[in-house]
Amino acid sequence: MTTAKNDKLASLRERFPLIHNIVISAPNLVKIETARSGAKTGRLGAKRVCSLYDPVGEAVKFAASLKIKPGDHVALYGVGLGYHLKPLLDAVGDDGQVVAAEANASLLKAAIGVIDERVIDDARLTLVCGRDEESFLPDWSRAFAAMDPDRTKVAIHIPSFQLIPENFPKTKNAVEMIRMERRFPLVMGGYQTDNFRKNLTVVLKSSGIATLAGAIKGGVAAVVGAGPSLDKQIPFLSQFRYSAVLCSDTAAPALIKRSIIPDMIFTVDPQKETKLHFDMVGQLDIPLALVPTANCDVVSQWPGPLYFGFIDPGRFSGPAQAFAKRMGALKSGGSVSCFALETALMMEAETVILFGQDFCFNRDQIHASGTVPAMLGDNMYVDEEIVSERDYFGREVKTSRSLYGYRREFENLTKSCRASVYTLSPEGVCLAGIEPIPSPLPYMSAVANSCCLADIKNRPKQKAGGEVARSFLDWIDRI
């Protein structure tokens, strides 16, 4: 072992003793090679860790694409060979910080042999690694919870994401959630734990999403997202009657603007910006389906009934776990449109029609007009994220790697369900098991004899004792 690497390991042992022990015992699975630029590169099996041509230039470009400003905090998944750590530290400046999580200990071990010792010594850098998922996730949560959410930017190193070990499934799901919505999932703390704590009193006296089971049995549900195709699909929502119109919070303003009142709005995002959707919607006495980590200002000010669902209730203990399971478990990962589709299937809709679910950029737009993101000009991803897929006509369309997780969840939800699921977006990405239709007209006959959501406000509410609240608070304090 070289003197230089010994010095780096000594620095690692001094700053991160537990990670040092993990790295020392990790197998040497990464094959180090020489890139055409002369810098070191590497691969793990068939997957490359960084560029075969210019890994340093690639790292600089990656850091620049994030548009980081001095003072920012960077929540990074993926160390790779570590080349991007210094450009990120340079970008955040003296008052910023970088939390770099890496689940693959062999990858981190290889990076220690490549990165500059001064990077490891830099007090602005926090490294997170784990011998197993049970130790990795709590450490990751604590590190992110210490960051300032108002100035934190998320960064995903794609090669590292692709090399997450198979025995870290929850970690992979967490990173996919970040990629899909550029937000922290519950496991990461920050806004989530703060919202959970503030929402808890309301959660304990509200209805659970499980109470909606069978609510529209045999009916037709419209599941509305905010994709650009919604602009031309909205007339189908106003001309026909549905057992339930379930829409995402992002899509809600576009519907309200056209005088279409959904039967239920879904929200999961914890950020303060989420409230902008509801500011545009106004005060509506209609049901809101959400998770306990949703934006606390939305929860406290919403005038209609609240229906809570829990992501992975098994992570709680004792009374909290039992309460969460009674309220209803979300199996689709917690993204808002997946939550809406999962609820439609739980309500036992016979037919589900998807509106505005494009999974691609039509006319170089991500969102329908009349939505908050469209008004703010949030209409393209960075070039590195854009890939090509095929629509239902076999034509090439632009989409994003970050939308893969959404698509997979939609396909998984419909794979084994009894309902027939159709999309009104044939110009969107082709979804396995979901057929396109030109109009919902042939499916409206089922609505007349189906149950609608008129009685939704009379659904039973939970009655939780103090032991449930204490159990939840103990859990929040531990993560």
Closest C-alpha to 267, from 221, 304, 230, 237: 304
| Mean pLDDT along residues 91-100 | 94
Q: Is the pLDDT of residue 105 over 50?
A: yes
- Which residues are paired to 146 by β-bridges? none
pLDDT reported for residue 185: 46
pLDDT reported for residue 271: 78
Secondary structure (3-state) at 52: coil
227 touches 368 (CB < 8 A): yes
429 touches 390 (CB < 8 A): yes
pLDDT reported for residue 450: 47
Burial class (CB in 10 A: 0-12, 13-18, 19+), 464: buried
The pLDDT tens digits for 179-206 are 655 444 444 455 677 889 899 999 999 9
d(Cα 250, Cα 143) in Å, to the nearest integer? 30
Count of other CB atoms within 10 angstroms of residue 90: 13
Return phi, psi of residue 228, to 5°: -60, -25
The pLDDT tens digits for 41-90 are 999 998 899 888 899 999 999 898 888 999 999 989 999 999 999 999 99
- 87-92 own/partner pairs: CB under 8 Å, 24+ apart: 87/59, 87/60, 87/62, 87/63, 88/63, 88/155, 89/119, 89/122, 89/124, 89/125, 90/63, 91/63, 91/66, 92/68, 92/124
163 touches 104 (CB < 8 A): yes
Q: How many Å from the N-terminal Cα to the C-terminal Cα in the chain? A: 37
Structure tokens at 10: 């000594």
295 touches 195 (CB < 8 A): yes
Q: DSSP of 65-133, one letter per residue?
A: HTT--TT-EEEEE--TTSTTHHHHHHHH-TT-EEEEE-S-HHHHHHHHTTS-HHHHH-TTEEEE--SSH
Q: Please give the model's pTM, rounded to 2 decimal places.
A: 0.70
Count of other CB atoms within 10 angstroms of residue 325: 15
pLDDT reported for residue 224: 96
The pLDDT tens digits for 240-270 are 888 999 999 999 999 999 999 999 999 998 8
187 touches 174 (CB < 8 A): yes
CA within 13 Å, CB half, 120: 26
Structural domains of the chain sorted by starting position, each given as residue range(s) with its CATH number in brackets: 3-186 (3.40.50), 195-458 (no CATH)
Residue 73 is classified by DSSP as E
The pLDDT tens digits for 356-369 are 999 888 766 788 98
pLDDT reported for residue 444: 60
Residue 394 is classified by DSSP as S
How much is the mean pLDDT over the chain? 85
pLDDT reported for residue 187: 43
The pLDDT tens digits for 428-473 are 999 999 999 877 766 665 454 445 666 666 667 777 778 888 888 8
Residue 329 is classified by DSSP as E
- Which residues are paired to 245 by β-bridges? 222
145 pLDDT band, cuts 50/70/90, is: confident
Single-letter amino acid, residue 58: E
